Structure 1
Amino acid sequence: MSRILVVDDERNVLTSFQHLLGKKGHEVLTAKSGEQALSLLGSNSPDLILMDIRMAGLSGLETFRQAKAIVPKVPVIMMTAYGTTDTAIEAMKLGAFEYTLKPFDIPKLTALIERALAMGQLMRTPVTYGAADADARAQRIIGKSSKMIEVYKLIGQVAPSNVTVLIRGESGTGKELVARAIYHHSQRAERPFIAVNCAAIPETLLESELFGYEKGAFTGAVARKPGKFEQASGGTILLDEVGDMSPSTQAKVLRVLQEGTCERLGGHETIRVDVRLLAATNQDLEALIRDRRFREDLYYRLHVVTITVPSLRERKEDIPLLAEYFLKRYSRELQKSGMRLSPEALERLSAYEWPGNVRELENCIKQAMVLGQGDVLMPEHLRLGQSSAVQLRSAPESLNAVRELARQHLEQAPGSAHQHLIEQVEAQLILEALMQTQGNLAQAAKLLGITRPTLREKISKYRIQRRVHLNQREG
């Protein structure tokens, strides 16, 4: 559950947000003025602030400036009517996460809130490495192998400077954790950290996401919007899966690195940005250069310093430490303290090749804790090869089934194929989780990575309660 502060001088807006966010399981604080909001921040640190631009008394923009001085790592979403978007854009230049127009599009607003909460969590959760007596709130990079000691040394050497760092490694090795460790130990740790997954954003949208756009730059561009480089100015930006960028986007990133400037789509104004760039990839950039799919000049700008994160199969001696860490990390969340691995289970973990690396190991341990009975996890509790999406990517028959399903939806439901396919897959995923946990809502929600209120909403939406017996117990 997250704590969200809503600041607006209209009581009906505050009431609507209390209802909307309360249903999602969030704690909602409300303030009718900027002055009241700043007073609340002195005693209550929220995870997110939603603030109206135009309010009586202290303006939204001035309240934002003062709030950022009190809680610099709390993301702020500015709420604005159409005629005040210039002020909202100014707030984004000063570090606001995003702005949203009134009247609200509820599904888009809900998705925006979830993204802001996720980014805030990344910024506030410290990442430590090496030391065993780490901050209890921190996420840790685990390992004592020689390859990981080398990674720790490089993090310590590059973190205090502003040098560009290229982080390489297979999927699931922890490249983003390394990037966040660099950020948290840098001189920019109190400034924004923004991670952009270049592979997850369609090529046609990535440029506008990174560099922003002017009003009228394309259909749907109803107002100017700053890009991620502007939002991260003064802080750090991580370009994850940097090898997936198009040539035109690569050229613009190169300009940022060379000149510290960029232009919004559809604009001519040169915008100066002060940002530290970290890049991550699981691809062979040298091969992409040979194939003329990646710019050689950008490559040399990116790998001023390169940190290579080893695969888990290259450091199997770290598996017992990682397993113990994940057992402790999820014991409170799953309310299963004291669980441990049997020697036979640990031996099985050490013998497996882990194509999905640390992420697959984490998912395997968490799934075993959810489904296991008693205090000792045995080999039969470990569903190796089933706990990672790696298996889907590596199995042609699974990919063919997904492609066929997608093709059918595109043919049979043109115009609504995306919604129908997502709903069909989501319903099946929820049903499978409930079946694996014998209908236990708490365990199914943890297995899915969502809250119980969200799970209940989806169960009702898809009428799943008619097909599976639901166990309402907490455990």
Structure 2
Amino acid sequence: MATVLIVDDSPLDRSLASRLLEDVGWTVFGAEHGEQALEQVAANEPDIVLTDMQMPIMDGLELVKELAATYPAFPVILMTAFGSEEIAVRALQQGAASYVPKDRLVRDLVGTAKSVLAIAQAKREADSMIASMRQVDSEYVLPNSVEGLDTLIGHIKDQLTSLGLFGQTDVMRVGTALYEGLINAVEHGNLELSSEERDQPSRSYRLLMAERAAMPVFRERHVYLTTNLSNSEACFIIRDEGPGFDPSILPDPTDPDNVGKVNGRGLFLIQTFMDEIRFNDVGNELTMVKRCSEA
């Protein structure tokens, strides 16, 4: 059965919450303030922490902060009283899982605790499953359009975060590189828009892109994205159905003379944010690799 740590400086409120949870078979132990609670968590590792907000020595907000930093897997439920609403909101923002008003403990505490525990257990199981993964491969066939790329890249960034491959900064950088690579495949690959055309004023370029995209010979083309995610690296392969180009004549985007050009920005970002990039001989397939720092 579940174990619950109840943190409250009021013996009466602590006793009421304990009785409600013990009646459904849960094991309960208590603490009078946040510092005692941290000692109890270290010694007993409860499934849930139920805490009052206003306590001496260490209040509920400070306890939530400490638990979120040190024991992020332990869900915290707040017991709120009249006048503690503002601090409760801050505690929820800091990582608390839910709250129950003290005047509704009898009605709502058990149901809320069961719900929070079920979610926490499901997350632990999911984390365990993710930790056992060694390879996640996906293939996407995308229409010849920039519409929907943000949603796709958001999904891939969520995968990277869930798998714990990179920190948030590198996840953001990989997303940027993916976006630039896919945009390049649509505009320069499938729509065959040249770098010189890309340097036109923005409005003129958008009109040209719309005209080209409406032509059947370009409209029916696709972009193919393959993702290979392992515990050592993330590899992305982007292929378009255009005629390609000679990669050997590609200008160096890091050259100071090229950095300021619109058409070199995407490749500059890709080269900056990824550990390895390469084109196939035809020039219509780009491989980008980001290695995990611990690999």
Q: Which has the higher strand share?
A: 2
Aligning the two structures, in what range does the TM-score lie when normalised by the shorter sequence?
0.3 to 0.5
TM-score under structure 1 length normalisation = 0.30
TM-score under structure 2 length normalisation = 0.46
Larger Rg: 2
The structure showing larger relative contact order (alpha-carbon pairs under 8 Å, at least 6 residues apart) is 2
